[in-house]
């Protein structure tokens, strides 16, 4: 073996947590930090990747986060590095399980992929992002990798996300998140981050970050709630700006460390175009059609519309907390829209799209009423298509009257509508990101500057 013998390794992880969101990023952080501390000759080829997958899949961990590390490793170190990774994952799962006295939901997926990320993996990412992945689909992908993959924890459900994260390369749009981890002794305490410094950070960095603070509820959006290892996460467009934003915060508790992740968050990556005859539960996507009938208001203020395209129809619901319910409520029969989101199965309804974006493409501007009777002014009745009109009050008949065209006062304008910031979940593009699309940076600096 020559001294220049290196191997490219992609490490995929998923479901290395219990009911907490964010823990898979935490174990990934620890793995990468340990590798960099121990092996100076291992080079990260990218930021750690934080990949959000299909949010409609019911048994996924909260947050649907899968992770990938991409490393250039001296081939002679490969075996010891793999052992370290497996041990770290097992140790992490067992401590979390013991703390919670439950093994609920833990089905960790771990994969090592060697060499280039091939087409079957890239397709798996798109499928895991927008659809349901059956285990036999996964087995086919593994077979197609032809021995370039190892799955040391076996064939588990979590392997779908682990391999999908590895397949998430060449993203058309991407963002970054700097995640700060709490010192374990603080997990059960209140988070200590100065709120005024969060507002000041938002003011200074709002052009390159997003979802820092909810001014309508006067609440930070960068700090999660509950007992988990994440102190805060700052999301944005540029890793260097995130670092500056982080340094401007006043943090008043001891931390374990932090890392910058490259992500598909806030990019609407799950919004693939689909036609209305291609709707199945657990799919995500965008559907175009014409509104059929009136919107109906459900209990609690959620609003449902039915759209139609040819013979296919789809029910789409906008929940009150997104604010999109008001947009759907203002729609009328005949309006043309594109609705995006994820499809779930509702008993009594069938597939229902949970809307996270609405584009109003065309609105009906007029309505037509039967003509008024020239004799008495009453609205006339049609005698059938092409057969003229008859007044129900005075009996007058006419064949040459046209219907009245009434201009409608519409409460909705053409345009794109997105959820209010506090209802923006991981993959959804928040309002401020519109116009910021761009391809991911190609390693703008030493990755090792972005983990401590
Ligand atoms: Zn009349």
Cα(377)–Cα(393) distance, rounded to whole angstroms?
Answer: 9
What the block records as the tokens of 72 is 């250039």
CA of 385 to the centre of ligand 1 (A): 20
With a cut of 70, say whether residue 270 has pLDDT above it. Answer: yes
Predicted structure pTM score: 0.91
The percentage of the chain sitting over the pLDDT mark of 90, rounded to a whole number, equals: 79
CATH of 273-365+408-426, picked from 1.10.357.10, 3.40.50.300, 3.10.20.740, 2.40.50.1010, is 2.40.50.1010
CA of 404 to the centre of ligand 1 (A): 16
Averaged over 285-299, what is the pLDDT?
A: 97
With a cut of 70, say whether residue 154 has pLDDT above it. Answer: yes
Averaged over 343-350, what is the pLDDT?
A: 94
List the one residue out of 37, 109, 35 whose CA is nearest residue 70. Answer: 35
CA of 354 to the centre of ligand 1 (A): 49
Averaged over 325-351, what is the pLDDT?
A: 96
Query: How many Cα neighbours within 13 Å face the side chain of 157?
Result: 12
With a cut of 80, say whether residue 157 has pLDDT above it. Answer: yes
The percentage of the chain sitting over the pLDDT mark of 70, rounded to a whole number, equals: 93
pLDDT recorded at residue 102: 47
Strand runs labelled E in 269-334: 273-274, 284-297, 303-309, 312-318
pLDDT recorded at residue 59: 62
What the block records as the tokens of 189 is 């305490």
Top CATH class, 6-170: alpha beta
Query: Max Cα separation, the chain?
Result: 104
pLDDT in tens, 47-83: 999 999 999 987 655 567 899 999 999 999 999 999 9
Cα(406)–Cα(2) distance, rounded to whole angstroms?
Answer: 83
pLDDT in tens, 175-198: 999 999 999 889 889 999 999 999
Averaged over 397-426, what is the pLDDT?
A: 92
Q: Are 333 and 294 in contact (CB under 8 A)?
A: yes
pLDDT recorded at residue 113: 98
Q: Where are the domains of the chain?
A: 6-170, 175-268, 273-365+408-426
Averaged over 326-345, what is the pLDDT?
A: 97
Q: What share of the chain is helix, strand, coil (3-state, %, to 5)?
A: 25, 30, 45
CA of 395 to the centre of ligand 1 (A): 6
CA of 366 to the centre of ligand 1 (A): 25
Residue 21: pLDDT band with limits 50, 70, 90: very low
CA of 373 to the centre of ligand 1 (A): 5
CA of 382 to the centre of ligand 1 (A): 13
pLDDT in tens, 86-106: 999 988 887 655 454 444 456
Averaged over 154-173, what is the pLDDT?
A: 93
Averaged over 41-52, what is the pLDDT?
A: 94
Of the listed ranges 19-33, 236-250, 266-280, 316-330, the least confidently predicted one is: 19-33
Q: Which long-range contacts (CB under 8 A, 24 or more apart) does 144-150 make?
A: 144/118, 144/120, 145/113, 145/118, 145/120, 145/121, 148/113, 148/114, 148/115, 148/118, 149/111, 149/112, 149/113, 149/114, 150/82, 150/111, 150/112
CATH number attached to the domain at 175-268: 3.90.600.20
- How open is the CA angle 174-177-179, to the nearest 5 degrees? 160
What the block records as the tokens of 232 is 């805060």
What the block records as the tokens of 81 is 């590095």
Burial class (CB in 10 A: 0-12, 13-18, 19+), 147: exposed
Averaged over 27-40, what is the pLDDT?
A: 94
CA of 379 to the centre of ligand 1 (A): 8
Give 225's DSSP letter.
-
With a cut of 90, say whether residue 202 has pLDDT above it. Answer: yes
pLDDT recorded at residue 20: 53
CA of 333 to the centre of ligand 1 (A): 30
pLDDT recorded at residue 101: 40
Q: Are 202 and 195 in contact (CB under 8 A)?
A: no
What the block records as the tokens of 228 is 């988990």
Give 318's contacts (C-beta < 8 A, 6+ positions apart): 302, 303, 304, 324, 325, 327, 328, 355, 358
pLDDT recorded at residue 91: 85
């Amino acid at each position: 073996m020559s001294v220049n013998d290196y191997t490219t390794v992609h490490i995929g992880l998923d479901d290395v947590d219990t009911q907490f969101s964010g823990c898979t990023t935490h174990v990934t952080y620890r793995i990468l930090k340990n590798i960099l501390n121990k092996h100076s000759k291992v080079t990260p080829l990218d930021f750690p990747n934080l990949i959000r997958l299909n949010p409609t899949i019911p048994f996924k961990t909260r947050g649907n986060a899968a992770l990938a590390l991409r490393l250039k490793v001296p081939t002679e170190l490969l075996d010891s590095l793999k052992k370290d990774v497996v041990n770290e994952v097992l140790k992490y799962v067992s401590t979390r399980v013991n703390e919670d006295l439950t093994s609920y939901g833990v089905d960790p997926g771990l994969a090592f992929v060697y060499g280039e990320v091939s087409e079957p993996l890239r397709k798996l990412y798109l499928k895991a992002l927008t659809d349901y992945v059956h285990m036999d689909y996964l087995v086919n992908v593994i077979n197609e990798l032809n021995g370039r993959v190892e799955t040391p924890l076996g064939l588990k459900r979590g392997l779908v996300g682990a391999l999908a994260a590895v397949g998430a390369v060449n993203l058309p749009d991407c963002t970054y998140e700097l995640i700060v981890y709490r010192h374990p002794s603080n997990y059960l305490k209140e988070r200590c981050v100065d709120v005024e410094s969060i507002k000041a950070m938002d003011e200074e960095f709002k052009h390159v970050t997003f979802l820092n603070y909810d001014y309508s509820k006067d609440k930070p959006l960068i700090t999660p709630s509950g007992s988990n290892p994440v102190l805060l996460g700052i999301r944005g467009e540029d890793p260097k700006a995130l670092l500056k934003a982080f340094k401007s915060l006043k943090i008043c508790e001891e931390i374990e460390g932090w890392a910058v992740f490259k992500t598909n968050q806030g990019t609407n990556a799950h919004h693939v175009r689909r036609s209305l005859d291609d709707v199945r539960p657990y799919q995500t996507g965008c559907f175009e059609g014409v509104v059929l009938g009136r919107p109906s208001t459900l209990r609690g203020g959620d609003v449902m519309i039915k759209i139609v395209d040819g013979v296919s129809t789809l029910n789409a619901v906008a929940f009150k907390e997104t604010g999109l319910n008001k947009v759907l409520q203002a729609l009328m029969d005949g309006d043309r829209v594109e609705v995006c989101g994820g499809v779930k199965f509702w008993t009594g309804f069938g597939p229902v799209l949970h809307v996270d974006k609405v584009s109003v493409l065309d609105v009906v501007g007029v309505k037509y009423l039967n003509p008024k009777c020239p004799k008495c002014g009453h609205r006339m009745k049609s005698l059938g298509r092409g057969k003229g009109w008859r007044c129900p009050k005075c009996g007058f008949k006419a064949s040459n009257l046209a219907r009245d065209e009434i201009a409608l006062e519409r409460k909705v304008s053409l345009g794109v509508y997105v959820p209010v910031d506090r209802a923006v979940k991981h993959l959804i593009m928040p309002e401020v990101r519109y116009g910021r699309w761009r391809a991911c940076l190609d390693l703008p600096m030493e990755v090792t500057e972005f983990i401590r």
